[in-house]
Every structure is written in structure tokens, then in C-alpha cells.
Structure 1
Amino acid sequence: MTINVDPRTLKYRVAGMDCASCASKIEAAVSRFAGAEEITVNFANQVLAFKLDEARTNPASIEKTIKGLGYGVTPLDGARPGDGDDEDEMAERAWWRTRKARLTLLVAGLTVLGAAVHFGAGVPERWAYMPAAGFGLAFFGRRAWAGALAGTPFSIETLVSVATAGALAIGASSEAAVVIVLFLVGELLEGLAAGRARAGIRSLADLVPRTALVLDGDDTREVPAEKLEVDQIVLVRPGDRVPADGEIVEGASDVDEAPVTGESVPVAKTVGGRVFAGSVNTTGSLKLRVTKTAADNTIARIIRLVEEAQAAKSPTARFIDRFSKIYTPFAILFAALVMVLPPLVLGGDWSTWIYRGLALLLVACPCALVLSTPAAIASALAAGARAGLLIKGGAALEAIGRARTVAFDKTGTLTVGQPKVTDVKALGDVEEARVLELAAAVEARSAHPIAAAILERALADRLPVKPALAARAIAGKAVEGRVGGKVVLVASPRHAREVGALSVENPLVESMEREGKTVVVVTLDGVAVGLVAVRDEPRPDAATAIRGLSGLGISSVMLTGDNARTGEAIGGALGLTVRAELLPDQKLAEIAKLKALGGVAMVGDGINDAPALAAANVGIAMGSGTDVALETADAALLRERVGGVVDMVRLSRATLGNIKQNVAIALGLKAVFLVTTITGTTGLWLAILADTGATVLVTLNALRLLGFRSETIRP
């Protein structure tokens, strides 16, 4: 009898995986095993994840293959326990104690010793440098062979091994040794640079304190923050970091959320307010009810989403991957032709042209080219997360920079999202207080911002609010219910006109709407008895953000379901085009029209605008770390500032520019060394700089993005 076992997800930390080429090599190796599927390799945080049917393949076989490629392997997240690797370089240690550093120092020492015996004792060059070159050849040759067996025959180790072996064969052992040393130095620098990029994300995890003070009645006990459970009450003293996402149940204070959201000014918090793990309590003592465990708090989710985003390839990265798979074999064939054609056709010297062909093998390596895009993307995503800009993948990052139009929702996006009642007007014999009371009764159970404003005003006026019976919403038009046996409708003026409760032109409605107020009509048994007007003020930085986008050559448009006069009042003050009175399907139609003219980014609150966010080229959700904002859109602004959109565009364009620079560096150096190698101007040891030198330059250039800072946030 056959027992079907569902594939199990395995995750490993892969030490030494510092570049996109490494990731491709490991992915190719794992994909050759039966039962391995959904393989994800993230070199940015050195994690390999895949599903495996263990009835077909033992995980130990995969671990052995990866180790054979020269990497350390350690199971993660409850994966099958294993012996790991005693050379796991993810452990915190000085760079000179890593395996790469020890190997580099060993080969460099052998090369220096070779120079000493050659020049000091007169030992022939071929034999003096043989130990250094031979050791390097044995090391990289073994990795090249393992890579070829694992499905990567054209790896950098293969090219270096062939070039080194060829150099030894023609007696150029000194250059073979120098090639090995330079290549190892390049790998070492690459690993150090990659480690710095990873530290940018790991520093977020360090924001959460190690311990927390849990309150049990009148007693206080210290427990590890990672052990906190939902609904426990914790004490946060002035100056302490908040140990968990929570809700304030006692106390008031100013909380510095800059480490989490990038908001530079401390935010006043009181009972009922939400706080995030890692933020700093600055003034008063707070008692919090824990709402998220350590594995699910805001910082943990940000780190998880950024790491997942780094693993996803952008369109540019996918194109370069496809290009490199064609480019590398072609480049190797070209190097082989350089070795044989000049001697055969032109009568050239075999030794000279074999030497030049071997140098071209080193020039041919595509490592720097393959790394050019993912290195920039990884750095940008990490920098964005630290600035309160959560971008979920390279595709979204590229799309933001290429957008020609940004479409904004109004309520909760361009405006604060907390409208206040400004006017209550009676239209008949019913008193204004009764108009407000009827409206509040119908809106009592609604979560709409206008409903909240009406209810807040009614409670402030101490009106007796009893929820209406049989209340129901008429999507985008009205809310209806029964109060005292009569049908009460709270509707938009447009719907009130459609049902005949309001005249086509009402001067009072038009006057209030010209002032940027949203008006609802209250009807009693089909007769309009009053008007309630609310106004939602624009965010303080909204106008500046719109001007900032215009300065970047991006047009802005407001898409709102509110009435045209209110939309024009807000839009006119902010300086953007307005499309008002749009139902959800009409918003989608507007997005489609804008997409026909170029890339479109849609900015909304992540809840009511979900269809429009999904329809745009890239959806950006507003919200200070809310679950919806973090999970639904392609990107999220973790602070409540419209200016974050400008920062996202700046970061995206800086990244696209960085990628172009990286590609130019990678291809430019190869073009230069291609010419100098064929003409004999440069030899083997300089040719290696076309790869290792370019790889280091590309990585360092990408790391510049870690210095990105917001220009729209001021203390």
C-alpha cells in the first residue's frame, strides 16, 4: 500500500551565499532532486526554502550537495534537525575569522612565499608558485565539478579553474596564483558588503527589547519579550522601548515611533491608542495589553515582508538572468575561438593565444552583471523599510518609479479621515437636535467615517441615541432604518433627488458643498427633514506632496465617491485634478483610462479601495502598520503622510538609476578588458578584475542606496 505524504516546507540558512550567481547555482542544484518544488532562494538574507516530498528524496542528500558547492547549511524554523555546518558564517564573528578570510590569507601567504623562494633562492617560477596555484586549483576545481554535477557547468569556479589549469600548463604559475588570490579577495569583499546590506534589516529586529515587565495583579515580573502572550498586561516605563504591539489600557505618554514608521515627531498616546513594538515611550508610564505575539508584531511582519520581497525577482533581474544564460556559453565559445583561430589561420603563437583565451574566460564571467539588479533592489528595500516605506518586491519598486500618474483616494488618504460635523440644518418642523438624533440612530452601527462623525456629535450633544431597527446600507448611496415605526433614510443628495425627497437644486446644499463639506440628507417616511454637513480636512503635508510629485513630472488625480463640489474644494486647495461621485466600478474604469496613458500608482486606505489598488500598476496603502496596509497592497506607507509617496518615487528612481550604473560598470569593464586582453595589453591577473573588481564595484554602488533618507519628513 502506498502512503501519500504531503510535501513539507524546509528552510535553511546557507552561509556564504552572497550574490545572485550563488543563489542561481543553489536553485539549479535543488531543482534537480525529485520531489523538490516551489524553490525560493534569497541571497540577501541567505535563506533557501522549498517543498520536498521526502518519500522521493532525503533532505540529507540536498544538504550534502549544497555543502559540496562550498556553502554552509543550517536548518531553520523547525526544519529537520541536522548537524548543520561548523563553519556557519552567519554567526557573529570578526571578518578575519571567517572561512573565506582564512582561505584568502592562506593562498596569499603561499603566493608571498613563492615570490620569496623565486627571487631569493632562484627557484624557477613554474615551481615556486605551484603550491599557491595548485591549492587554489584544487579548491575551486572541486567546487566547479560539484557545480557541474548539480546543473551549473558554466559557473565562475569553472572559469577560474580552467584559466588556472591552463596557466599552469603553459608555465605561467605566478599569474595563476595571483588570479586565485585576487578572486578570493573579491569574494571576501563581496561577502563583507552583502553582510552590511543584511545588517540593515537585522537592525530592525534589534529594536525590540529582550525583556518585558508583565503585571500579575500587583506583582511585576520580568520575562523574555519573545515569550509574551496575547492579552497579557505589560508595564512600559518612561525611556523604555515597547516590547510588543499593544493597546494602552492605562496611562498617557508621547511615543517615539521613528524606529518603526519613520515618523520624526513623538505621537501623543492615551487609553485605547495602539503602540508598536520597538517604539520608545518618552514621558509617562503606560500599561499595555499585548495584541500580537513576538512572531507577529509589526517589526516581525515588516522584516518578513521585506525578506520575501528581496527574494522576488524584478522584471529587470529576470531579463538579465535570461540574458546571462545565453551570454556565458557564447563568451566561452568566443574565448575558445580566440585560442585556436589565430594560430590556425594566421600562424600565431599557440602559447600567446592560449594565454589570451584563458584571460578571456575570466573576462567572460557574468557575476557582476547578474548581481547588478538584485543588489540594488535588496539595498533599496532595506532602506525603504527603515524610512517607513514598505515595498513588497522589485517589480513594485520598479513600477513606482515608472508611474506617470498617481491616483489618490480622498477620505483617509489626502484627508485625515476623521470628518467632523460642521452643520445641522432643519428643513421643516423637525428640530435640528431631532435631525441629528435620527441620523445617529440609523448610522449607529456603521463603520463609515461620516457615520462616526455624526455619532460623535450626537454623543457630544448628549442626545439619546438608540440604534434603528432593520438598518441596512444601500452601497455608495444611503443607509436606511426604522426609528419609532417610521422609515429614516440618511442619503447623499444625489440619491435623495433620485427618490424624490429633495429638489433638483437646493441652494443650502450647494452652498455647503462649495465650502468643501459633505452633505447628507435625512428623510422621514420619504420627506426630507434636515441636512447634516461634515468636513474632512486635508492632511498637513498633502499639498506639499502633490507639488513634489509635479516636480518629478508626475500628474496627480483624486478619485472619490464624494460629491463633485466637495471633491473640487479639496482638490482645488491641493492643486490636483478631481474625478468625483465615483462608484467602485467607476473608479476601476478611471484607473483603466489612466493606465492607457502610462503607468499608474493608486494610493488608498487599503480597505475600501482594494479593487482600485489591485487594478493599478502598483497599489500603495496608507496606514500606520495596520494589518490591511501591510498585507493587501504592493506597497504601504507606515506613517500617515502623503509625502511618503514622493519618497517612494525618489527611492524607486534612485534604484533604477543605480541599476543602470551597475550594468554600465559590469559591461563597461568587460568591454575594456575584452579589447586589452585580445591585444595583449593585459594578462590573466588583470583580467580577473573584469569580474571580481566589477562585482565589488557593483555591490558597493548598490550599498549607496542604504543611505537613502526622506526629504518630506522634517522634525
Structure 2
Amino acid sequence: MADHHEWHVDGMDCPSCAGKIRGALERLPGVEDIRVSVINETLSLSLDGSRISPERVTATVRQLGYQATPSSETPPDPAAEEETRSRWYATGKGRLALASGGALAAATLLRLFTDETLAYWGFFAACLVGLVPIARRALTSARAGMPFTIEMLMTIAAGGALIIGAAGEAALVILLFSVGEILEGVAADRARAGIRSLADLVPRSARLETAPGETRTVDAAHLKVGQVVVVRPGDRIPADGAILEGRSAIDESPVTGESVPRSKDVDDAVHAGSINHDAVLRIRVTRPPEDNTIARIIRLVEEAQEARAPTERFIDRFSRIYMPVVVGIAVLVAVVPPLAVGGGWSEWVYRALALLLIGCPCALVISVPASIASALSVGTRRGLLLKGGAVIEATARASVVAFDKTGTLTAGQPVVTDVVAVDAAGDADAVATLAASLEQGSSHPLAEAILQHARTRGLSLTRVSESKAIAGHGVEGRIDSCRVCVVSPRYAAEQGVLPEPLRSRIAALEAAGKTVVVVVDGDTAIGLIALRDEPRQDAIEGVRALEAMGVRALMLTGDNPRTAASIAGAIGLEHRAGLLPDDKVTMIRELVARERVMMVGDGINDAPALAASHVGVAMGSGTDVALETADGALLRNRVSDVAAMIGLARETMANIRQNIVIALGLKGVFLITTVLGITGLWLAILADTGATVLVTLNALRLLRARSGAEASQSPAQGEALASGAPARA
């Protein structure tokens, strides 16, 4: 029977670290379902207790040079962990660098004040101080079936340098390698910082209501579904919930990236980490702390880190071939010149050792995941969730974006656009009052829109008796014994209460894509009300931004052609109307056959079309569907964020290409200079460390840079999950 176990692992700075741990553990008996998260610094797996103990796993990981602590023993204290990260010299890699540096400094002093022989042994000892731990990690990896690691190359290079008498350079190489590992760790922590800061947005304490008017402070992590918390103005909301009492402006920027506070009233949903601005709120907890919106976003981003892009998988396969080839070339450089042309063994062995250091693929291997990690972090801050490197790569290649209409390009809620009285001198408010009075208590979207219009106008509604629905046509009732109704134009015409002047007005309104109802008082039509699901305010700007990026926009809808043409014309994009869900899938498949397609929908009714596209993106402010379906989500519900997402993806892929050029370019230059004898051991390791640091710093630029879509918008609008499933082909 396999049991699940978890560890917190310090010192993992790149996917290569995770690969070493995974490779070593896969060879142990009774170990299954290994998952290593670099961004979260965790290891989880299943163990067959009859074949292997958790202690052996811990020992194996530690032999590889990482500090592994079972999560059940000492749960990491976030405050203490953050303090440790800020003190690099307190880490294992920091202590190794300090020890190597101190030993090298002591050896240098010996050279200055004693003879060369004593100084040589001082450098020899200084080299061993740093080399022994590295060699131990190299042997552990080799026993696990991974002989071609950076530690093994370092061990061979430094050990060979000692043998040929270059102890001083060997000690310097070890120090530079240790310093490079520290810099990699610092850079990796910078990439993690954006994700870790999300967890800090949720307050650690909450004011739990224990009785009416009475509260006590409790740990927010222990809140239960159904409990009621009190949130004062200026406080952060401690849990996902629904407002029971109070009305206030809520700043949701920590969750959605939306900088403008939204007014929230009774029964409205609120997210953990949001900031209450105006009034005291009583909120009923609707989700446990471990499953609140921010916790899910963090989990989705962590999982997305494990979804590797096709480019990353190619680089990984390439590096597995690249390292043995470099070792083979180094052997030839060491052996062929002395045997073939009588070159000096010491000189050519030295060049071969330097070549080994040049061949370290660290910078190349980290070039893709470093950029992906930065993109996921900055995307999350901007309300753009991209579920892994494969999705980022597919998004960058998108050439056409297909939008659902209702709830995506439009708000999904009809609004009253026109109220028309029969007589030019008639009272439009009287028409709206009668209609709203009849619609009281109805949950139909058109009824809610009419009631909202009446509330906005401040109209006083009249009591209606004997109210009932007219199936498929509208609603009727009585006011002071007089029959009144709100019905469709067709029904009004059938009842003979629709005068000719209204018929032409109805035709004009319907031609504009509006839904029209007739308000009837007794046997007389007194007016019309026109409603329409209006385009989102940023829809036009969002489509224009896509066009500026060379991406075609297309609207797919089940609405009638007249309404679809009206909405599409107002926004400025192509459209296909009258489509059933199956028709949308067929349309997407036709597009996929010749173009790279992104489908944007509400994540519910459009699921089949989202699945059929190369990249499916859900609209939704932190809803379950938006977070857990499709390949990405737009948390701010903005059409303009589609262009921002594509812009970020394109910038990320450009950053990856830059990183690959940096990594291979530096290695190519120093490969030639090393073989020619121009550069030596310490410059070789400096080039390798420098390339790694440059690649990481270049990736971190994504954390500060604006996306391409932002640059193309005026004003700027654009500011990264799920399963980490790869984008669909």
C-alpha cells in the first residue's frame, strides 16, 4: 500500500535541479508518482512502506546537495523562510561560497608571504574545500544514472587541474561556480516573489462573528464555510464569501488586476484579499481558506510551471545529447594533438578541461523556464492566467481570435435603450412605470432590465394584482380593475391593439438589433420599450488592438443575423450568426485547419468550441469555470485583455529566443577561444556563470516590461491555470 509523502526542498533554482531529484528518486524501489515543484520548492511522491522508508528519500535528496525537510515534521514558517531567503549567506550554497572564498584568500596570503610550494598546497586545500561537496553530489547523480551533470563536469575539470598543477586556477573556478549558484538562487527567488506575494494578500486574522454585535479575532486559515466574518473599512477580506449586510466599494485589484473599485451589495460575491473601502460588511464564508480564489490562482500558476513548452522540451532533449558530445570533444582535444602532432600533454589537457566548463548547458537549459516563470508571474498580476509554457507558445502564434457574443463581447445582460410613448407628447416615464410594475417579482432577463431602468429613473411603482405570465408572449395583470400587459409585438398585433404608427417604429428598432416589447393599458398600446445586450465598453478598443497586432477578430453567435450584424458592425469585426453549439465547433475546426485559432468565451456554453481551438480562453472574474476550464482566463472580463495576453505571449517568446542566442552565442565564442588557448579555466567558468546570470536577468525583464499589446493600445489597457494541460493542436 503506497502512502503519500511531501517534503520542503531548499536550494532548487531551475528545472535541472528538479530533474536531478526526480532522476535519483525514480531509481529507488517503491517510489511512485514523483512531483517536484521548483516554484513551490516542494517534493511529493508515493512510497511503498514495505520497500523503502521516507528517511531514505530524505537522505538521497540531501546527498544531491539540497536540504529536504518532511512537511509533516516542520511546516515552513513563511516569515522565517522569507528572512532566510534575504540572507544568502545563511543558505548551504552561501556557506560553501564563503568557505571557498576564505580558503582561497588564505592561500593567496600564503603565496604573498611564503614560498611557492607552500602556496600551492594552500590552493590545493582551498580547492578541496569547495570541490568535495560538489564531487559528492556528482557521484550521487552518477549512481542514479545521470553522469553528465554540471557537478560532474566541475569535478573532472577541477580535479584534472589539480593533477596538472593548476591548483590556483582550480580553486578560483570552484569559487566562481559557487558564486554563480548563489546568483542563480537570488534570481530564482525574484521570479518566485510575485507568486509568494499573492499569498500575503490574504490577511492572517479575521473578525469572526460569535453573536449579534459580538466578534473575536481568529486565524483566517481556520475559517469554516458558513461562518460570518465582519470586515471594517480599510481591511482586507479574509475569505471568499457573499455579503449578508452592507454596501461598499471593493478593490479587487489583488485578484483581478482591476484598479477601479467595484460597488458590492447584499448577496454579491467577494474574494479573499480584496480591500473593503467604505462601510462595515458582514460576509458569509462560502469557500474554505485552502480553496479561496487566491489559493487557487497560486495553485494553478504552480501547476502551470510544470507544463513545459515544446521549445523547452526540445532544449531538454538537445542538452542530453549536447553534454556527451562536449565531453567527447574534450577527450579528443586532450588526446589527439599530443598523439598526432606532438603537442604538450599538460597544455592540451588544460584546454580540454576548460572546454568541459564551457560545455555546461546550465544557461541553455534555464533559458526557457526562466522566461516562462516570469511571464506567468506578470500575467497573474495583470489578470491574465496562462496555463503553462505550451499555452504561452500557442498564444504567441495566434492569427485569428474567435469571440462568443453574449457574455464575451457583450455584457450578457440586456439594458433598456429606448422608451417610446405612442403620442409625441406622451410620458415615457409613465410607460416605464407601468411595465416595471407588471414585471415586479419576475426573474426574466428582460424584466430585470426594465426594473433596473425604473430604479435608475427613480420611478415609484404601482401595485399590480392578478399578475400572470402569457406563455411565450409576456405578462399581464390588473391595476384598479383595468387589464394591463407587457407583450411581444406579434402578440399585440394578434390582439388588434398595435396601431400602424408603432409598427414602423418597431421595425426600425429591431433592425438595430434590439428586442422590443409593447406596453398595453386596457385595449390601447401606450408605448414601446426596446432592449439590447450592449457591447462591452472596451470591445471596440480590444478588437482594434488585435487588428494592430495583425490578428483577425471574428464573432460567433447563435443570435439572429440582424442582431448579430448590428453588434458586429458597432464593434467592427466579422461575424457568423445563427450558430448552434455544434455549428460553432464546426466553424472552429474549419478555422483550425488553416490558421492558429484562439477561442474566447464565457467558459460554460462555449466549452466544446474552446476545446476545439488551439487555445481556449475563458472570460470571468475569478469564477470556477474561468479558472478551471480552457487554457487561460481573463480575470478582469476585458476584451482588451485578449490583445494584452497575445502581446505578453509574443514578448515571452521573443525573450526566450534572446536567451537561447545569449547562451549559445557566449558558449560558441569561448569554445573557439578555449581550443585556441586564448582563454583558460577561470574565464571558462566565468563565461558559463555569466551566461546563466545574463539569461536569468533577461527573463526577469518581463516582470517590469509592458506587454506588446499595452504598447499598441491608447490608452494602455493590458496589464497567468488549471491543469497545465498543453495547448491543443
Shorter chain as denominator, the TM-score bin is: 0.7 to 0.9
Structure 1 contact 387–709 (Cα < 8 Å) conserved:
no
State percent identity of aligned pairs: 56
Structure 2 contact 24–145 (Cα < 8 Å) conserved:
yes
Letter in 2 for 1:178: L
When structure 1 is superposed on structure 2, of 391-400 and 368-377 the one drifting more is 391-400
Aligned to 1:235: 230
- Cα offset, 1:147, TM superposition: 0.8
Aligned to 2:215: 220
SS in 2 for 1:223: strand
**Counterparts of 2:693 and 2:662 in 1: how far apart (Å)?**
10
For the structure 1 residues 325 and 397, does the alpha-carbon distance in structure 2 shift closer, same or farther, using more than 3 Å as the test? same
Aligned to 1:203: 197
Equivalent in 114, 121, 126 of residue 107 of structure 2: 114
Alignment of 1:61 onto 2:56: yes
- Cα offset, 1:35, TM superposition: 3.5
Equivalent in 170, 173, 185 of residue 176 of structure 1: 170
Structure 2 contact 36–44 (Cα < 8 Å) conserved:
yes
Aligned to 2:122: 128
Letter in 1 for 2:143: L
Structure 2 contact 96–130 (Cα < 8 Å) conserved:
no
**Counterparts of 2:81 and 2:633 in 1: how far apart (Å)?**
33
For the structure 1 residues 229 and 273, does the alpha-carbon distance in structure 2 shift closer, same or farther, using more than 3 Å as the test? same
SS in 2 for 1:70: coil
Aligned to 1:346: 341
Aligned to 1:514: 511
For the structure 1 residues 282 and 482, does the alpha-carbon distance in structure 2 shift closer, same or farther, using more than 3 Å as the test? closer
For the structure 1 residues 388 and 714, does the alpha-carbon distance in structure 2 shift closer, same or farther, using more than 3 Å as the test? closer
Structure 2 contact 99–129 (Cα < 8 Å) conserved:
no
SS in 1 for 2:116: coil
Aligned to 1:640: 637
Alignment of 1:544 onto 2:533: no
**Counterparts of 1:714 and 1:149 in 2: how far apart (Å)?**
49
Alignment of 1:19 onto 2:23: no
Aligned to 2:97: 104
- Cα offset, 1:456, TM superposition: 7.1
When structure 1 is superposed on structure 2, of 121-130 and 147-156 the one drifting more is 121-130
Aligned to 1:660: 657
Aligned to 2:426: none
- 1:538-577 correspondence to structure 2 within 5 Å: 538-577=535-574
For the structure 1 residues 531 and 582, does the alpha-carbon distance in structure 2 shift closer, same or farther, using more than 3 Å as the test? farther
**Counterparts of 2:466 and 2:303 in 1: how far apart (Å)?**
48
TM score, norm. by length of structure 1:
0.86
How many residues of Structure 1 are paired with residues of Structure 2 in the alignment? 669
Aligned to 1:364: 359
**Counterparts of 1:35 and 1:444 in 2: how far apart (Å)?**
62
SS in 1 for 2:190: helix
Alignment of 1:713 onto 2:721: no
Structure 2 contact 248–264 (Cα < 8 Å) conserved:
yes
Alignment of 1:92 onto 2:84: yes
Aligned to 1:608: 605
- Listed one character per residue, the Cα deviations across residues 345-399 of structure 1 (whole Å, up to 9, x for unaligned) are 1221111111100111111111111100011101110111111111111111111
- Listed one character per residue, the Cα deviations across residues 107-127 of structure 1 (whole Å, up to 9, x for unaligned) are 011111111111321233532
Structure 2 contact 641–718 (Cα < 8 Å) conserved:
no
For the structure 1 residues 465 and 599, does the alpha-carbon distance in structure 2 shift closer, same or farther, using more than 3 Å as the test? farther
**Counterparts of 1:492 and 1:41 in 2: how far apart (Å)?**
64
Structure 2 contact 236–272 (Cα < 8 Å) conserved:
yes
- Cα offset, 1:464, TM superposition: 6.4
- Listed one character per residue, the Cα deviations across residues 196-252 of structure 1 (whole Å, up to 9, x for unaligned) are 111111111111111111122221111111111112111111111111111111111
Structure 1 contact 436–458 (Cα < 8 Å) conserved:
no
When structure 1 is superposed on structure 2, of 670-679 and 256-265 the one drifting more is 256-265
Aligned to 2:594: 597
- Listed one character per residue, the Cα deviations across residues 609-668 of structure 1 (whole Å, up to 9, x for unaligned) are 111111111111111111111111211111121111111111111110111111111101
- Cα offset, 1:440, TM superposition: 7.7
Equivalent in 298, 302, 312 of residue 307 of structure 1: 302
**Counterparts of 2:349 and 2:271 in 1: how far apart (Å)?**
63
For the structure 1 residues 314 and 452, does the alpha-carbon distance in structure 2 shift closer, same or farther, using more than 3 Å as the test? farther
SS in 2 for 1:633: coil
**Counterparts of 2:489 and 2:32 in 1: how far apart (Å)?**
53
Aligned to 1:383: 378
Alignment of 1:259 onto 2:254: yes
**Counterparts of 1:585 and 1:462 in 2: how far apart (Å)?**
45
SS in 2 for 1:92: helix
Letter in 1 for 2:717: I
**Counterparts of 2:416 and 2:75 in 1: how far apart (Å)?**
66
Structure 1 contact 624–637 (Cα < 8 Å) conserved:
yes
For the structure 1 residues 338 and 464, does the alpha-carbon distance in structure 2 shift closer, same or farther, using more than 3 Å as the test? farther
SS in 2 for 1:543: helix
**Counterparts of 1:146 and 1:192 in 2: how far apart (Å)?**
25
Aligned to 1:499: none
Alignment of 1:194 onto 2:153: no
Equivalent in 520, 532, 537 of residue 535 of structure 1: 532
Aligned to 2:4: 9
- Cα offset, 1:159, TM superposition: 0.1
**Counterparts of 1:89 and 1:680 in 2: how far apart (Å)?**
45
**Counterparts of 2:160 and 2:628 in 1: how far apart (Å)?**
54
Structure 1 contact 209–242 (Cα < 8 Å) conserved:
yes
Equivalent in 139, 156, 164 of residue 145 of structure 1: 139
Aligned to 2:425: none
Letter in 2 for 1:418: Q
For the structure 1 residues 670 and 458, does the alpha-carbon distance in structure 2 shift closer, same or farther, using more than 3 Å as the test? same
Structure 1 contact 557–576 (Cα < 8 Å) conserved:
yes
Letter in 2 for 1:595: V
For the structure 1 residues 574 and 466, does the alpha-carbon distance in structure 2 shift closer, same or farther, using more than 3 Å as the test? same
- Listed one character per residue, the Cα deviations across residues 392-420 of structure 1 (whole Å, up to 9, x for unaligned) are 11111111111001111111111111113
TM score, norm. by length of structure 2:
0.85
**Counterparts of 2:504 and 2:349 in 1: how far apart (Å)?**
91
